[in-house]
Amino acid sequence: MAESGVTDGLGNTEDIERSKTEGKQLTKEEKQRLRKEKKQQKKNKEKSDENASHEGEKKKKKKKEEKPVGSASQPPAQPSPKAVPAPPAAAVPVPASEAPAPADKPAKSKADLKAERRARQEAERASKGKKGDVGQPAPTGKLKAPPSELQPVVKRLPEHVQVDDGIKIPLRSDYGYKVSLFSHLHQYSRKAPLTQQLGIPSTVIHPAIVRLGLQYSHGIVAGSNARSVALLHAFKQVIRDYTTPPNEELSRDLVKKLESYINFLHQCRPVSASMGNAIKYIKKEISNIPSQCKEEEAKLKLLSCIERYINENIILAAKAIAKYSIEKISDGDVILVYGCSSLVNHILCEAFEKNRKFRVIVVDSRPRLEGREALRRLVQKGISCTYVLISAVSYILPEVSKVFLGAHALLANGYVMSRVGTSQIALVAKAFNVPVLVCCETYKFCERVQTDSFVSNELDDPDDLIVTRKGQTQLEHWQEVPSLGLLNLVYDVTPPDFVDLVITDLGMIPCTSVPVVLRVKNMDQ
């Protein structure tokens, strides 16, 4: 019946098509009939395609059932309700590699590929299970060693606690409660130096280095220049007493020994930027020593290099800076200085000897009160001085004509790192339109970049803030109060906007020229 309906429909469509070609107009009924017939033709075509695909799937399933999988018996595939019965068992199975592919092989759908993969995996599992039951050897492969046979994990100690000859220097324990903003910095007590925690034999750390570390931690040697000179002199003593061990090279063994000494000094007090530059210079000179050079000759060469570094970068640099700075000092000037900078004191003494008439205001701050030492030196030379604390700086600045400041380091972005309180003085001087001149040697120039005083700084002993007046000590038991923390910062950072001029041994430059000086120095080295 369906076939007769289709033939009738085809006859009708042929009549309609003929009437269209003859130019006759079709009625609405004829148009609807034509649409229905076209839809019916599409449905018939889709059904025929589905039948063809079903037949292709049946053929594939038959071939899978006939395929042998090794010695294992593959479980028979579950026949679908429309599956054609399998061929007789007498038929010889043909391997898949030799079976001729059908000429009109349809493309496999995702469902077919998944089914094939699942069947293959099940067959492999079945074959493996059979092999295990029979007692065949397991497949060869790299067996994992038990945890006891694994190589032990070597935990490397940090460099600042590792020393040669198997002696480990313990980390110096932090002291007291720290303000949360500076909790990443170390805070030590002078009452508990590192040498009290263990006995250090002279074979591990040189006695000159141990003595220098104690002087650093107790504040006996203070100031960037003084610390750098003391470090270089201690290294000279180490080099004099050094002997190269057998089967070792001087350039390698000496650098290794110096590393352990530097780590010990860093535990006593963090290394300054100027000390870091001096250490880099010494290491470079040691690495430049040729291997065929004799030990005595190499030691003499290193000692002369250290002496030259002190002479050129500290002594001669101070003289050059003094020469440039005296040009900025006029008769009748009132010069404000802060703290005790050895370079600024040298400049003022040189200017006084050149018969310049000026007066100095020494500003000081607690708890170190370093300005008292600067005041003593200047008064001893005969210079007229006034001594005030930093809290009164805004009252004294109207009569000041110039501000001379020292520096701990000059950073690559032009910021000046100096004794805490320097940025406050530079800020107030800027408000009063008083020029601020920073005096700094180029060996203190640092490639580090910093815009605040929190990320990298140094915390001093908090007990220095405890003051006894009239027999009473207010903060004597401050550690027993859990919510109380004493903050004794050492340095602060001054923006380049508050500095008018930097006077160096290369000349007078703005803060923005620091990267240029660093680049030139690196090229020279």
Confidence band of 140 (pLDDT split at 50, 70, 90): very low
Tokens standing for 52?
Answer: 């063809």
- Compute the distance between CA of residue 369 and CA of residue 464 in angstroms, rounded to an integer: 11
Reference 61, options 40, 44, 42, 82; nearest CA is: 82
What is the tens place of the pLDDT at every residue in 149-163? 444 444 343 444 444
CA 488 to each of CA 65, 131, 188, 366, 484: distance values in angstroms, whole numbers, following the listed order? 86, 76, 11, 10, 13
Is the pLDDT at 202 greater than 80? The verdict is no
Is the pLDDT at 442 greater than 60? The verdict is yes
* Helix boundaries (H) for 467-507: none
pLDDT value at residue 194 = 66
What is the tens place of the pLDDT at every residue in 259-317? 989 998 998 899 999 999 999 999 999 999 988 889 999 999 999 999 999 999 999 99
Mean pLDDT value across residues 200-215: 82
Instruction: Give the alpha-carbon dihedral of 326, 329, 331, 333, to 10 degrees.
Output: -150
Confidence band of 248 (pLDDT split at 50, 70, 90): confident
User: Which string of DSSP letters, residue by residue, matches 431-454?
Assistant: HTT--EEEE--GGGB-S---SSSS
| Residue that wins the pLDDT comparison between 387 and 522 | 387
Mean pLDDT value across residues 48-59: 69
Q: How far is C-alpha 213 from the chain's CA centre?
A: 28
- Compute the distance between CA of residue 441 and CA of residue 424 in angstroms, rounded to an integer: 22
Tokens standing for 140?
Answer: 């060869």
pLDDT value at residue 201 = 59
What is the tens place of the pLDDT at every residue in 339-395? 999 999 999 999 999 999 999 999 999 999 999 999 999 999 999 999 999 999 999
What is the tens place of the pLDDT at every residue in 314-346? 999 999 999 999 999 999 999 999 999 999 999
What percent of the chain clears pLDDT 90, i.e. is strictly above it? 50
* Helix boundaries (H) for 81-189: 110-134
pTM for this one? 0.67
pLDDT value at residue 125 = 79
Confidence band of 139 (pLDDT split at 50, 70, 90): very low
Confidence band of 447 (pLDDT split at 50, 70, 90): very high
- Compute the distance between CA of residue 118 and CA of residue 272 in angstroms, rounded to an integer: 69
Confidence band of 221 (pLDDT split at 50, 70, 90): very high
| Residue that wins the pLDDT comparison between 12 and 469 | 469
Confidence band of 247 (pLDDT split at 50, 70, 90): confident
